[in-house]
Structure 1
Amino acid sequence: MDMNAYLSMFIDESNDHLQSLNENLLKLESSPDDISIVQIIFRSAHTLKGMSATMGFEDLAALTHEMENVLDLVRNNKLKMDEFIFDTLFKGLDALDAMVQDVVGGGTGKADVSAIVTNLKAIVNPDYKAQGAPKGQTEASPEKSGGEAAAEIELDQFQISVLKQSIETGHQVFHIQVTVQETCVLKAVRAYMVFELLEQSGEVVKSEPSVQDIEQEKFDRSFSVYLITQQSAEDLKARIENISEIESAQVTVMDEESIAMLSKPSRPEAAAVKPEAQKEKAEVKPAAGAPAAAGGGAAVTKTIRVDIDRLDVLMNLFSELLIDRVRLEQLASEIKRGDLTETVEHMARVSGDLQNIVLKLRMVPVESVFNRFPRMVRDLAKTLDKKIDLVISGADTELDRTVIDEIGDPLVHLLRNSLDHGIESVERRVEAGKPETGTVNLRAFHSGNNVFIEIEDDGAGINRERVLSIAVKNGVITAEQGAGMTDEEVYMLLFAPGFSTADKISDISGRGVGLDVVKSKINSLGGAVSVKSQLGKGTIFSIQLPLTLSIISAMLIKLGSEKYAIPLSSIMETSIVRRDQVHHIHGNSMIEFRGAIIPVVSLSKLLESPDFDELTENETEVVIIRKGEKWAAVMVDEFIGQSDIVLKPLGKYLSNTAVVSGATILGDGQVALIIDPNALIK
């Protein structure tokens, strides 16, 4: 059997199963006693294991088998889910996803997952069921302080079992005590660098003080960890001591006998306490009015998988057909023959229906992007020690596949921003009289020929004065300019390159990059982004995107002998302007429009049109365009009319012309450049 013939199918189905596993594991985290969800997870894991084994990806199959063993105990009521089991299974899913992506890139799908397998085997071990879940696997108990001796680290029975099994499987177990120099100013930073090195080298089982206390510099000069690794003690010691301002690193090799001596009897009162279900720090809720999960009455949809390249070919062929249709319509209007006109009109109706079908074939629900975020929010909420609900609505809203492929990263940036900077800590929310759990709404909806995606949080909001002070300090604007800016204009300063309001750099956000990338990416897709905020109440980031990037409706215009196209989605109306209506203010041409003064844009000057001189007559025609809340009047020579046009990229030929976003071929065979209205309004 030729396995290569089935590789594409394996990758597609593996991604589907991994997505299902993530979604259902999140549901189970909210309802840990729901065995029906466990059954679904088990079936997906079992199928993935069988597929991997058939294709010869042994590491994938082996890891999935160990996860399956844990799930089998849970579904048969022999094991209760707890926080450690959830975290271990999620780590397993991350490893499986990385292995599948390695296969996608032409790799072998192999990876070192021994640490995860060790934890999974320990969970299945009867000792785990007897002792119960470890409380705070990587954190010391809160009553311990950073000044206590490293030798006093207390391990529970489960952690000791993990260390023993690690030695049995050929791993090294080290007790490491790290001491920073007495003159060190940023102890937490040096400790973070050490932990980053240790996590790259193996798995940290226990630390003293806790990771949180170390990050907050609640320790004197030293801290200790137990580490599972395959590296040598000498190499690890040298790498740690090579970190700046680290005075020493004492690495002690642990054997089974020394680990057994660490065991301390459990306190009787602790064993008698019944564990209570904890509210998860991140959970996913359906929005109000969202349909409930299918209960067996849903209709089965028949689908087939189609290579996206084939759809691209279909779109290109239809684009050529559309150009010929416009040409035939023009010829029919010139010849004025009844039967020809009738046939062309019928062809126009049929091709219009065909156009709708072809465009719908490329339309994909934003759910394909949204479904990655619940897991991301869960993990970030735990990292940030916050309680956050992610509420998703409008996931069935459809966008062109081209847009879908590009919108994921900007949404990740905005969500991370809301989680890190928007939602407050539990303590601050309680002080402000808010619920402990913050809410982030992720919604999508249609409006006209556009799709809007909004990310709304009920966090602290944006501090206008703080943003202004940073913008002035960084030279983005002057103090005088800031005084006259509206709130929305101030909030948009967040999208300036390198702008950051973070007090400290974190791995979540706040490195001074991100939001400027969001804006440039959305603008490149023909969209726009805006911000609304209320201090103490929350913030809304709104993204406006075109339905498709392939075929659009446009207004065709002339500048002298040249023809151009302006997308209808940006045109508010057309008008005629007399010479005496144009005012010159500080060197800029302005006109009054609906009670407001808006700028007049000379398209001929921007494009260096050789044979068009605006306002040579007493009046000229203008197109009123809009970008968010800003308006502008674009002077043109003549309106040709509305038409559906096919966007053709120009590549590098006109890369320096910012106002041109592409080109189209008209019915008469001429090429018309497509104007980007967003570039005309500053």
Structure 2
Amino acid sequence: MDMNAYLSMFIDESNDHLQSLNENLLQLEGNPEDLSIVQSIFRSAHTLKGMSATMGFEDLAALTHEMENVLDLVRNGKLKMDSFIFDTLFKGLDALEAMVQDIVGGGTGKADVTSIVASLQTILKGDYKTVSSAAQAAAKETVAPSGSAGRASGSVLLDEFQSSILLQSMESGHQPYYVQVSVEESCVLKAARAYMVFDLLERNGEIVKSDPSVQDLEQEKFDRSFTVFTISTLSADQLNEQITNISEIASVTVTPLDAESLAALTSAPAAAAVEAPEKPAAAEPEADAKASGGSELSRKAAPSTQSAPAAMNKTIRVDIDRLDTLMNLFSELLIDRVRLEQLASEIKRSELTETVEHMSRVSSDLQNIVLKLRMVPVDSVFNRFPRLVRDLAKSLDKKMELVITGADTELDRTVIDEIGDPLVHLIRNSGDHGIESVEERVAAGKPETGTIHLRAYHSGNHVFIEVEEDGRGINQAKVLQTAIKNGVVTEEQARNLTSEEIQMLIFAPGFSTADKISDISGRGVGLDVVKTKITSLGGNVTVTSAEGKGTKFSVQLPLTLSIISAMLIKLGSEKYAIPLSSIVETGIIQRENILNVHGNRMIQFRNSIIPIISLSGVLQSPDYDESQEQETEIVVIRKGDKIAAVMVDEFIGQSEIVLKTLGKYLTNVYAISGATILGDGYVALIIDPNALIK
């Protein structure tokens, strides 16, 4: 049987199951006693295992099988969940997602998951340990290996997962060591010496963890010393001797580890009740037997925990390329429809006019359907963020929660595919720079747990996505100081900036106020990448902040990138289109009412003074001279909270237009976002209002 025919279906369904596993595990972490959630997790894991085995992805199936065994003990009340089990299952999910992504990229889906499997088997045997925080702190003072250069006292060296690997190696008769190495001050190629030490250790065993990380060692991001946890076939003396023999090594300390020292060096959750589970040999047949029919029996035995059966899901999966083709075909149809409407108005035959009007109504309904086919709830992007915030809180040692509203808000699939990464960056930035540590929050009179709000809602022809947290807010003095230091603004310009303008400086290229560069919020790259991506989608991003209270990022996005409503205007003989979503209103002004304020042309608009822009001047229109007219038509446009007026020659009217790109040779044309073909066959350029407002 040719499995390639089913590969696309396998990938789609695997991603659905993995997302379901992530969501349900997060729910279970908040309510560990709810066995109905465990049943759902078990069913998803079992289905994923069966699919993987059928498709021949043995590593996927093997890892899922081990996770399934642990879940089977939990659902049968033989094992109680704790932080170590949750962390291990989440690591397993990460590995499964990586394998599925490898398959998406044309790979075989193979991966080395022996360490995760070993950790899961340790859970099945009931051999892993938990140490209370007080005992752990006391043990670190007496047992932690000494001589770690530059390390803060009592810092965590190993997590539970790494500790379980070392513990299991001891049970198998191997000896783990803690190795501290210093290179000579005169050493020029420190990374090369570190590589030689790693090569020696890997030839005689296995490295479990290094500090700094391997990547930092390769890039020489360390002073003179580094530490390694390793499992070796050599004795301590042999290791010491062989590492010392490497040139330019100043000192070596090899400390054998035992169960007591491992417990002292391990970051462990508070002790949890763990009943002695059955051995895997007894658990596996039970798991398989129940998976094949037991889930239905379990459901009947516990009806109170199950909701009513859902209605049949009448949906089909459609390839996005087919929807793109459908949209392109409809775009051509729309251009012909506009052409027919123009011809009918010229010929003025009642039969033709009626037929064209009917075709217009039908095509409008068809347009709505085509656009809705491409619309996807933002939930497909938002559903990855609860896990992201959970992992973020653990890695930063902070308490934070994510509150999502408006996840059913719909966006064009093209926008959905592109908006994920910018939102990941904004949420990480909120967790890293925004939310304070528990100690800081308590000192400031705030709840220990910081809150990140993720909202989505419709407004006109746009969707707004907001990321807001109740953290420390933006330190404007620090932002201004950094901006001047980096040459973003001069000291003279800085004195004239408003509060809002200072906050927007964080979007400048290369801008970062991080005291310490980390992987969490962009390694100091700043938020310019986010703004560039959102702007390329025809959107806009703004920030508002109050120091000590929090920060809100607001992202404005177009509903669709294919068909929009626009106002057609003329400049002399040339026609242009301005998107209606950016237009506040239209009007006529007398030229004598145009004011000159500090060299800038302004007009009075509804009790405020706004700038007025000459579109013919911006576009250098050759056959239109606005100075010859006593009055001129204006279009008032909006970009976020900013408003400006644009002078035009003549209004043509409102029309549905199809956006077309200008091709590879006309990229980044100022104030032009694309083009459209009008009903008379001529091309009209589409104005980008965002470019006209500074």
TM bin (shorter chain): 0.7 to 0.9
CA contact (8 A) 1:457 1:538 kept: yes
Task: Tell me, in whole angstroms, the C-alpha distance in 2 between the residues paired with 1:584 and 1:124.
Answer: 79
Task: Tell me, in whole angstroms, the C-alpha distance in 1 between the residues paired with 2:637 and 2:248.
Answer: 59
Which residue does 2:674 correspond to in 1? 662
* Pair 1:333-2:345 in alignment: yes
Which residue does 2:551 correspond to in 1? 539
Deviation, 1:275, is: 3.7
Which residue does 1:380 correspond to in 2? 392
Deviation, 1:337, is: 1.3
Deviation, 1:237, is: 9.5
Q: For 1:65-84, what per-residue CA distance to the aligned partner results, in whole angstroms no more than 9, with x for missing partners?
A: 11111111111111111111
CA contact (8 A) 2:207 2:228 kept: no
Task: Tell me, in whole angstroms, the C-alpha distance in 1 between the residues paired with 2:145 and 2:645.
Answer: 72
Task: Tell me, in whole angstroms, the C-alpha distance in 1 between the residues paired with 2:259 and 2:96.
Answer: 34
Question: For residue 546 of structure 2, what is the amino acid of its counterpart?
Answer: Q
Task: Tell me, in whole angstroms, the C-alpha distance in 1 between the residues paired with 2:126 and 2:38.
Answer: 20
Question: For residue 315 of structure 1, what is the amino acid of its counterpart?
Answer: M
Which residue does 1:644 correspond to in 2? 656
Question: For residue 46 of structure 2, what is the amino acid of its counterpart?
Answer: H
SS at match of 1:615: helix
Which residue does 2:141 correspond to in 1? 144
Deviation, 1:589, is: 2.8
Deviation, 1:577, is: 2.5
Deviation, 1:398, is: 0.3
SS at match of 1:144: helix
Identity across matched positions, percent: 72
Q: For 1:263-302, what per-residue CA distance to the aligned partner results, in whole angstroms no more than 9, with x for missing partners?
A: 69999xxxxx97489xxxxxxxxxxxxxxx9932654432
Deviation, 1:675, is: 0.8
Task: Tell me, in whole angstroms, the C-alpha distance in 2 between the residues paired with 1:512 and 1:503.
Answer: 9
Task: Tell me, in whole angstroms, the C-alpha distance in 2 between the residues paired with 1:671 and 1:446.
Answer: 31
* Pair 1:80-2:80 in alignment: yes
Which residue does 1:92 correspond to in 2? 92
Task: Tell me, in whole angstroms, the C-alpha distance in 1 between the residues paired with 2:173 and 2:342.
Answer: 79
CA contact (8 A) 1:115 1:202 kept: no
SS at match of 2:458: strand
- Aligned counterpart for 1:617 among listed residues 611, 616, 629: 629
Which residue does 2:502 correspond to in 1? 490
- Aligned counterpart for 2:516 among listed residues 492, 496, 504: 504
- Aligned counterpart for 2:317 among listed residues 287, 291, 305: 305
Paired residues for 1:14-93 under 5 Å: 14-93=14-93
Task: Tell me, in whole angstroms, the C-alpha distance in 2 between the residues paired with 1:631 and 1:231.
Answer: 73
Which residue does 1:408 correspond to in 2? 420
Task: Tell me, in whole angstroms, the C-alpha distance in 2 between the residues paired with 1:241 and 1:361.
Answer: 67
Which residue does 1:588 correspond to in 2? 600
Which residue does 1:103 correspond to in 2? 103
Q: For 1:195-214, what per-residue CA distance to the aligned partner results, in whole angstroms no more than 9, with x for missing partners?
A: 9x999x9664799x9xxxxx
SS at match of 1:424: coil
Deviation, 1:347, is: 1.1
Deviation, 1:247, is: 4.3
Which residue does 1:270 correspond to in 2? none
Cα distance, 1:337–1:146 mapped onto 2, change above 3 Å:
farther
SS at match of 1:640: strand
Task: Tell me, in whole angstroms, the C-alpha distance in 1 between the residues paired with 2:85 and 2:621.
Answer: 68
* Pair 1:10-2:10 in alignment: yes
SS at match of 2:626: coil
Deviation, 1:109, is: 0.7
- Aligned counterpart for 1:463 among listed residues 475, 487, 495: 475
- Aligned counterpart for 2:455 among listed residues 411, 424, 443: 443
- Aligned counterpart for 1:176 among listed residues 170, 175, 179: 179
Paired residues for 1:219-258 under 5 Å: 226-228=229-231, 247-250=250-253
Task: Tell me, in whole angstroms, the C-alpha distance in 2 between the residues paired with 1:157 and 1:422.
Answer: 28
SS at match of 1:621: strand
Question: For residue 391 of structure 1, what is the amino acid of its counterpart?
Answer: V
Which residue does 1:213 correspond to in 2? none
Task: Tell me, in whole angstroms, the C-alpha distance in 2 between the residues paired with 1:38 and 1:446.
Answer: 36
Cα distance, 1:418–1:50 mapped onto 2, change above 3 Å:
same
Task: Tell me, in whole angstroms, the C-alpha distance in 1 between the residues paired with 2:499 and 2:480.
Answer: 10
Task: Tell me, in whole angstroms, the C-alpha distance in 1 between the residues paired with 2:617 and 2:60.
Answer: 61
* Pair 1:552-2:564 in alignment: yes
Which residue does 1:282 correspond to in 2? none
Paired residues for 1:243-392 under 5 Å: 247-250=250-253, 262=259, 275=272, 295-296=307-308, 298-392=310-404
Question: For residue 558 of structure 1, what is the amino acid of its counterpart?
Answer: K
Task: Tell me, in whole angstroms, the C-alpha distance in 2 between the residues paired with 1:497 and 1:529.
Answer: 15
Cα distance, 1:102–1:161 mapped onto 2, change above 3 Å:
closer
CA contact (8 A) 1:156 1:264 kept: no
Deviation, 1:163, is: 3.1
Cα distance, 1:5–1:593 mapped onto 2, change above 3 Å:
same
Query: What RMSD over aligned residues (CA atoms) do the two structures have, in Å?
Result: 4.1
Task: Tell me, in whole angstroms, the C-alpha distance in 1 between the residues paired with 2:329 and 2:262.
Answer: 75
CA contact (8 A) 1:454 1:543 kept: yes
Task: Tell me, in whole angstroms, the C-alpha distance in 1 between the residues paired with 2:594 and 2:160.
Answer: 83
| Residue correspondences, number | 633
Deviation, 1:613, is: 1.3
CA contact (8 A) 1:501 1:510 kept: no
Task: Tell me, in whole angstroms, the C-alpha distance in 2 between the residues paired with 1:351 and 1:456.
Answer: 41
CA contact (8 A) 1:377 1:390 kept: yes
Q: For 1:567-591, what per-residue CA distance to the aligned partner results, in whole angstroms no more than 9, with x for missing partners?
A: 0011111122222222344443332
Deviation, 1:382, is: 0.4
SS at match of 1:127: coil
Cα distance, 1:158–1:671 mapped onto 2, change above 3 Å:
closer
Cα distance, 1:119–1:576 mapped onto 2, change above 3 Å:
same
CA contact (8 A) 2:611 2:645 kept: yes
CA contact (8 A) 2:644 2:693 kept: yes
* Pair 1:568-2:580 in alignment: yes
Which residue does 1:521 correspond to in 2? 533
CA contact (8 A) 1:28 1:38 kept: yes
Question: For residue 54 of structure 1, what is the amino acid of its counterpart?
Answer: T
Task: Tell me, in whole angstroms, the C-alpha distance in 1 between the residues paired with 2:109 and 2:311.
Answer: 37
CA contact (8 A) 2:11 2:100 kept: yes
- Aligned counterpart for 1:481 among listed residues 493, 497, 518: 493
Cα distance, 1:230–1:613 mapped onto 2, change above 3 Å:
farther
Deviation, 1:592, is: 2.6
Task: Tell me, in whole angstroms, the C-alpha distance in 2 between the residues paired with 1:485 and 1:198.
Answer: 57
Cα distance, 1:147–1:553 mapped onto 2, change above 3 Å:
same
Task: Tell me, in whole angstroms, the C-alpha distance in 2 between the residues paired with 1:242 and 1:511.
Answer: 37
Which residue does 1:217 correspond to in 2? none
Deviation, 1:15, is: 0.6
- TM-score of the superposition, structure 2-length normalised? 0.82
Question: For residue 230 of structure 2, what is the amino acid of its counterpart?
Answer: L
Task: Tell me, in whole angstroms, the C-alpha distance in 2 between the residues paired with 1:265 and 1:202.
Answer: 17
SS at match of 2:80: coil
Which residue does 2:217 correspond to in 1? none
Which residue does 1:215 correspond to in 2? none
SS at match of 2:627: coil
Task: Tell me, in whole angstroms, the C-alpha distance in 1 between the residues paired with 2:561 and 2:262.
Answer: 67
CA contact (8 A) 1:559 1:612 kept: yes
Q: Quick check: 628-637 or 665-674, which moved more?
A: 628-637
Cα distance, 1:596–1:378 mapped onto 2, change above 3 Å:
same
Cα distance, 1:240–1:646 mapped onto 2, change above 3 Å:
farther
Cα distance, 1:671–1:28 mapped onto 2, change above 3 Å:
same
Structure 2: runs of 5 or more not aligned = 149-153, 188-192, 213-222, 265-269, 275-304
Deviation, 1:343, is: 1.3
CA contact (8 A) 1:140 1:206 kept: no
Cα distance, 1:346–1:517 mapped onto 2, change above 3 Å:
same
Task: Tell me, in whole angstroms, the C-alpha distance in 2 between the residues paired with 1:580 and 1:26.
Answer: 65
Cα distance, 1:176–1:266 mapped onto 2, change above 3 Å:
closer
Deviation, 1:61, is: 1.0
CA contact (8 A) 2:611 2:644 kept: yes
Task: Tell me, in whole angstroms, the C-alpha distance in 1 between the residues paired with 2:428 and 2:97.
Answer: 21
- TM-score of the superposition, structure 1-length normalised? 0.84
